Amino acid sequence: MRFKYKFSNAFKILFVAIYLLAIACFTWNLIRLINSLSSEIAIDTYGYISIALCLLLPIVISVFVTAILISSDYTVQNGKLIVKFGLMSDKYSVKEIENIVKNVKTDVLVVNFKDESTLRVVIDKRFFDDFSATVIKENKDVCYGETDEVDNNKGKNA
């Protein structure tokens, strides 16, 4: 089953700002290219290459942001927990998951692995139980629990 990554409002605003900046950069460099083609002053090869790269960069950045928005999710299937964030992905064996803890006070879901590493699952809180049930369906040995403790070690060095 697939669970979409939940972006905060700050990230959504950041993505909109990146899109607007990409549009502005592309438009500005397209105007530069049109002006240089109609100008009587000859531009060397380096000038055309730099303008072409300046036209390409906003497109590439927009592709990365779009990939993040479209394909950021958690998938549990075939004994694997697949975490995708844009064009990057990680795979974890569900057999390596020791427990899942839902903090009802801070609305955080954390997956704890047998090697004592953790993974914070960033999905909508209404899907916490569905996510946990899907993981437990793949591995019956996973313990699921809830807590209401606030993590006081946040930001402290161990």
Per residue in 5-45, pLDDT (tens digit) is: 999 999 999 999 999 999 999 999 999 888 888 887 777 88
Give exposure, 6-27, as e/b (b: 16+ Cβ within 10 Å). eeeeeeeeebeebbeebeebbe
What does the pLDDT read at residue 149? 74
pLDDT band at 48; cut points 50, 70, 90: confident
What does the pLDDT read at residue 86? 92
CB atoms within 10 A of CB 84: 19
Q: 89-142, pLDDT tens digit by residue? A: 999 999 999 999 998 888 899 999 999 999 999 999 899 999 999 999 999 999
pLDDT band at 150; cut points 50, 70, 90: low
Q: Are 25 and 33 contacting, i.e. CB atoms less than 8 angstroms apart?
A: no
For all residues of the chain together, what is the average pLDDT?
Answer: 89
Query: Nearest-CA neighbor of 56 among 88, 82, 29?
Result: 29
